[in-house]
Amino acid sequence: MDKFLSYHPATYQIIYDRLFNRKFDNSKIAKYINVEDFTLFDQGLKECLEKFLENPKFKNIDWRAEALKDRRTKELTNLNEILGVKQKIKYLLYRFFIN
């Protein structure tokens, strides 16, 4: 795991984002504020997705990082998913040749 984490700058997210299933307990918050005004999860998710779909914007993909992760996991990204010749070359170099 340590070697995998060295290839990705967001180590906290990798370690804590999907490793544990957590249940949100708002009992301490409820002592001080009215939690009945909170948006329900299903409704909030629906609103969030609708808003995103109105104007979808994605961050750029770091193909160097993806290549290093793919090398470690023995995966291979379909080159059709990578836009531009320069990005494809970068991916292939880091996937197969450069550490």
> Which of 5-14, 27-36, 48-57, 76-85 is the least confident region?
5-14
Read off the pLDDT band of 24 (50, 70, 90): confident
CA–CA–CA angle 16, 22, 26 (5° rounding): 120
Q: Count how many Cα atoms sit within 13 Å of the Cα of residue 88 in the half-sphere of its side chain.
A: 8
Which stretch, 6-15, 27-36, 39-48, 63-72, has highest mean pLDDT?
A: 63-72
Which two three-digit tokens encode residue 81?
């998913």
pTM above 0.75, yes or no: no
All residues at 6 or more sequence positions from 35 whose CB lies less than 8 Å from its CB, including other chains = 26, 29
- Closest to 39 in 3D by CA, of 52, 26, 22: 26
Query: What local confidence, expressed as pLDDT, does residue 18 receive?
Result: 58
